[in-house]
Amino acid sequence: MGASAGDLPSLDGVENMTDSEVGEIVRQFLTVCRGMGASDLHLSAMAVPFVRLNLQIEAVADRPLSPEASAKLNTVLLSASQGAEFEAHKDLDFALAVPDSGRFRVNLMVHKQGVAGTYRLVPDRVMSLAELGFRDTKTITKLLDHHNGLILVTGPVGSGKTTTLAALVDIINSKREDHIITVEEPIEIVHESKKCNVTQREVGCHTQSFASALKGALREDPDVIVIGELRDLETIEMAITAAETGHLVIGTLHTSDAATTLDRLLDVFPPDQQQQIRAMTAESLRGIICQKLIPRDAVNGLAVAAEILIHTIAVANIIREGKTHTLSAVLQTGAQQGMQLMDQSVFELWEDGSISQDSALMHLKDKQFINRILKPAAAGAPQDSAEAGAMPSTAESKKKGWFK
């Protein structure tokens, strides 16, 4: 670790190099980017190569890539079948394994100026919830004691859902004796069977779609079904049905809080099915973990903030009656059951010095928490000063893991 952009190989003359030479350059790029702690590498025609580091864009070269250079860099590591698919569809998603550098989730596309590739760096090992930065690991782990029902991991793109999902699978894999089937696009983190038998399937390579894989899974004697993304009506319907019929189903959605998650999950159904689906979800939902990543500073990585909803009688009634707008009140009063609002989590990160005041205010919505931050500042409390540096802080103890 400790690599920098200065360690990257030169891209000058890539157009005239052999495939072997270009392939080695791509592998070096990916290795150095992992050493930098970047989450993504972008190689795009007529654009300067850049990485995403602590959610910020950082250029890693001085000159834009020519269309020829970008095409060569992004396609040199493709297999013959992948090359043919990209040529036919102009889009391609796949997982790339690089010796001594781990796995990467890759998306290739064609835009008006040429070929572009986005390389998401997959963690090189499965990390625990504590290593990822979750505070209340006991509540989340307890959700995995259920042998049926639905658990949702949600958050915006790039919020670490896949990494959290892998941590949940690893917990089950380590303490239960079950059959776990995962359906992903693509397979990012590889799980070795421990106490469980883990079957991983990739959409495109091993199955035509999430829905067809789910349909097949119900006949494959699973105990736990893990779905990389709940993206359409058929997949969501089958996931809810599987959860109701004796399987533990864990899936992800691109939503920012518990209320929005339930609305997204249920509103895809036509009006004549709404009442039935709400009743099914009210019975089968076990919990929702909504997460977001917030930069600590330019050096110390990212902190994870999480909203946690746990199934209770009150939550079931809200879902059944379609009153998801009242969930925030239940989350506020459900601390004893392990529930937490996103704003409460963000506030606690600021309170212990994990994130700055500006970062906290940027991610808070509730005026109550905003005022609790601003009032000490208005009263002359030390902020970002030498005096503030003397205040007790647990930030140092949290600088670890993929989210750090």
- For each of the chain's 404 residues, which pLDDT tens digit applies? 467 777 889 999 999 999 999 999 999 999 999 999 899 999 999 999 999 998 899 999 999 999 999 999 999 999 999 999 999 999 999 999 988 788 999 999 999 999 999 999 998 889 999 999 999 999 999 999 999 999 999 999 889 999 999 999 999 999 999 999 999 998 989 999 999 999 999 998 899 999 999 999 999 999 999 999 998 999 999 999 999 999 999 999 999 999 999 999 999 999 999 999 999 999 999 999 999 999 986 566 899 999 999 999 999 999 999 999 999 999 999 999 999 999 999 999 999 999 999 999 999 999 999 999 998 655 554 444 333 433 334 334 333 444 54
Tokens 């796949």: give the residue: 94
- Omega into 186 within 30° of 0, i.e. cis? yes
**Residue 390: per-residue pLDDT:** 37
Q: Show which of 340, 367, 393 is a domain's final residue.
A: 340
CATH of the domain at 49: 3.30.450.90
> Domain check: are 117 and 164 in the same one?
no
| Secondary structure element (H or E) that encloses residue 318, with its range | helix 313-321
Domain CATH for 189: 3.40.50.300
Q: Which of 100, 121, 142 is the last residue of a domain?
A: 121
Q: Are residues 135 and 162 in the same domain?
A: yes
In the prediction, which pLDDT does 401 show?
Answer: 44
Considering the domain boundaries, does residue 383 fall inside one?
A: no
pTM for this structure? 0.86
Asked whether residue 346 is domain-assigned, the answer is: no
Rounded to 5°, the CA angle 357-362-365 comes to 110
Residue 75 lies inside a defined structural domain of this protein: yes
What is the DSSP secondary structure assignment for residue 309, as one 8-state letter? E
Tell me, yes or no, whether 197 and 309 share the same domain: yes
Regarding whether 317 and 199 lie in a shared domain, the answer is yes
Per the domain annotation, does 284 fall within a domain? yes
CA distances from 217 to 182, 224, 242 (A): 9, 10, 9
Residues 143 and 93 in one domain: no
Residues 27 and 82 in one domain: yes
Q: Taking a C-beta distance cutoff of 8 angstroms, is the pair 185, 231 a contact?
A: no
Asked if residue 77 belongs to a domain, the reply is yes
In a domain, 39, yes or no: yes
Buried/exposed 292-308: b ≥16 CB within 10 Å, e otherwise: bbbbbeeebbbbbbbbb
Look at residue 141 in the predicted model and tell me its pLDDT.
97
Taking CA atoms, 9 is separated from 24, 43, 138, in Å, by 10, 14, 45
Cα distance between residue 242 and residue 214, in whole Å: 9
Check whether residue 225 and residue 84 sit in a common domain: no
- Is position 396 within any domain? no
Asked if residues 220 and 305 have their Cβ atoms less than 8 Å apart, the reply is no
- The reply to whether 389 falls in a domain is no
Alpha-carbon span 324 to 259, nearest angstrom? 5
pLDDT recorded at residue 376: 66
Eight-state DSSP code of residue 66: P
Domain end, chosen from 56, 90, 121, is at 121
116 and 195 part of one domain: no
Instruction: Mark whether 243 and 110 lie in a shared domain.
Output: no
Token pair recorded at residue 201? 């399937």
Q: What is the predicted pLDDT for the residue at 179?
A: 97
**Do 290 and 193 have their domain in common?**
yes
Domain of 77? Answer: 5-121
* Residues 169 and 117 both lie in one domain: no
Same domain, 206 and 247: yes
Total domains present in the chain: 2
